[in-house]
Copies of this chain bind each other. A is one copy, B any other.
Amino acid sequence: MSLELTPSQALGLWHTVSLSQVRSEAHDLTLRQMAILLQIYLVPPPHTVRGLAATLNVTKPVITRALDTMGAMGLVDRVRDDRDRRNVIIKRTVAGALYLEKLGDVVIAEARQLPY
């Protein structure tokens, strides 16, 4: 069963969730950072800088910098690949999982409050 949305529901959902994120005053992530974080947590590992850059259609420094920022927030972690020490494997963290769990709760809550 797929998810069928009306135009009003689609934009309304995006509206209320964006509004909730902005209002919460919490240090919010860039759209790119959010996309990277979701990619890491929703797609099976392993994840590398190069792979993420290709998937998101951005340059490698964008990924490196985003990992720097989100790493400082504790949302992701980086580990050298011992089998090929050129690679860096991006690891998930408890804080990151918690962060996305809360985001999911917000989306669900806002979706439930949508008119019709």
Could you say how many copies of this chain the assembly holds? 2
A79: interface (CB < 8 Å): no
| Measured CA separation A54–B2 after assembly (Å) | 37
For window 9-51 of A, CB contacts with B under 8 Å fall at 9-15, 17-19, 21-23, 25, 28, 30-32, 34-35, 38-39, 41-42
A103: interface (CB < 8 Å): yes
A98: interface (CB < 8 Å): no
A3 / chain B contacts, CB cutoff of 8 Å:
5, 9, 13, 111-112, 114
Assign chain A's interface to a size class: 35 or more
Q: Are the C-beta atoms of B108 and A7 separated by less than 8 Å?
A: yes
In the complex, the 6 A-B pairs of residues with the closest C-beta atoms, listed nearest first: A10-B107, A15-B38, A18-B35, A3-B111, A10-B104, A22-B35
